[in-house]
A and B are shown apart, each in its own frame.
Chain A
């Protein structure tokens, strides 16, 4: 870790251990990590995400004890075994299945926070890239997990997504065969997805460790985007932020519990309660909500390969963001123009998400309209095209805005805005 160690071994055994394996020192330094004193609740999602990962790993390991990864047995082992026969199986699966959604709620807010406060800018580019890697791994893990109950959506979702890769020239087909282990999605596919679904969360945990390491070297950004200038600007992580994060996790758990106990199937699809059938495609295939914006981008483009490239590009843009945003000012608090474009970007992403859940030729607001090129102008397809165009343009806007906009005056220290607020006397 980057800050000087303040740990003093007190007992003989601690001194003995400290010169052999300084693990207590490591933990103590993590807790005394100097953290900007002005972090708000948007900064609690890191802790919430760690909580989510732990929940998924613990419930997942338990589910794996009762799960049968075979085409013939998977559906029954989940729907009858885990949901009806295993003691508290319904609860553990409810937590795991809804936990994936909660995980994505948290990661989206965490990413939005990062963009708003410019946390990807120097010297935190590696931290940001590792975060993007985690996000991609999460999507892969959740996708493979969704295949495991082997219902209709599991099966056809797996088929559609693996076929996406088949769109790539030359390598596409051989890679799809490698993923399938056969001529189509089948038993071998299910088995390897189970194996990888078990593995990837541990890979995520390892990348999270790197992510936190890359956080502790430059230290946290903060809502002003102004660098920490003196010890006065920081407080120790414990107890200040352990308590704040803990409180936020508590609130998050309430929302989580509402889903698990009152709305356990609200985020799922009824079709997945029908066993996988390779001879019947469900009338309306949609991915889980957290993948809908990307699905809409894919469908908006009438060409198969270009659609897949746009899908990959929409995530690739996040990786490139540190080099696309040219503004020297980090926080959008002081960039009113950028802030406006950012909020429109969030709105466009939500529109894409909604479009992804609808039929491509569905009418907007029930309005009948004329055909423009291939679809009616007031159709879901055209709405997703316009929203997708803005989604991508945002990154170009960030490139030019940094050079042309006039930011508001930035405070000289992260402490100033706190002192200027008449009511909030800085409590120590």
Chain B
């Protein structure tokens, strides 16, 4: 290839080392490709969440506002978060299903904080396509998604329908018995 690209190769008097010519071609192409990537990256990365969006990261919430058997929905990083104060029946039902056929197997205990089993904190976004499930519907007395009918149990685990995963549990910690910090 180097031979044919180098017109002077046929004339020994004008001959230059073909490898040098090749090196320049390759180096120039590589620099252009590297440059293109370097230019493309900022253009793509600017689409990622900006610093002010990322700064909306944590939220404190006083649980005493949610009576037994009730739930509330918070907005954390613009995403709905369910805070459910579970009744003993709900906890029993969730634990009884621990060893049943689950699509995304996970024990109820792993989805709550030890000693605070009555508090279920979930990302309120259906793992199918992101609609907001509503509590109390479906055959497992947990959440039912209005969009394509995914059914979640009282631990927020997926039991039926197109969603592949359990409702997510955000990172949170108990600051005191009645106060949590999400994020």
Contacts and interface: CB of A to CB of B under 8 A. Distances in A.
A, B co-complexed: yes
Interface of A: 156, 159-164, 177-184, 186, 188, 192, 278-285, 299, 301-305, 307, 360-361, 374
B171 to A, nearest CB: 13
Contacts, number: 86
B130 A183 contact: no
B87 interface: no
Interface residues of B, number: 29
A182 B49 contact: yes
B37 interface: no
B38 interface: no
Contacts of A159: 129-131
A360 B163 CA distance: 14
Contacts of A192: 47
Interface string B124-168: 010011111010000000000111110000000000111110000
B179 interface: no
Contact of A183 (B49, B147, B161): B49
Given A278-B75, A279-B132, 16 more contacts: A156-B147, A159-B130, A161-B129, A177-B48, A177-B49, A182-B78, A183-B53, A183-B79, A184-B77, A188-B49, A278-B79, A279-B80, A285-B131, A302-B162, A304-B128, A304-B164
A188 B73 contact: no
B77 A183 contact: yes
B49 A285 contact: no
A301 B53 CA distance: 35
B50 interface: yes
B103 to A, nearest CB: 11
B44 interface: yes
Interface of B: 44, 47-50, 53, 73, 75, 77-80, 125, 128-132, 134, 145-149, 160-164
A290 to B, nearest CB: 19
A163 B44 contact: no
9 tightest A-B CB contacts, nearest first: A281-B132, A163-B129, A163-B130, A183-B77, A160-B129, A178-B47, A159-B130, A281-B131, A182-B53
Nearest to A308: B129
B77 A160 contact: no
A178 B129 contact: no
B131 A304 contact: no
Contacts of A181: 47-50, 53
B49 A307 contact: no
Contacts of A184: 77-79, 125, 130
A211 B146 CA distance: 42
A299 B162 contact: yes
Nearest to A161: B129
7 contacts: A159-B130, A181-B47, A184-B77, A184-B125, A281-B134, A303-B164, A304-B129
Contacts of B163: 304
A314 B180 CA distance: 47
Contacts of A156: 131, 147
B78 A281 contact: no
Nearest to B80: A279
A8 to B, nearest CB: 44
Contact of A361 (B75, B125, B149, B162): B149
A60 to B, nearest CB: 23
Contacts of A285: 131, 146-147
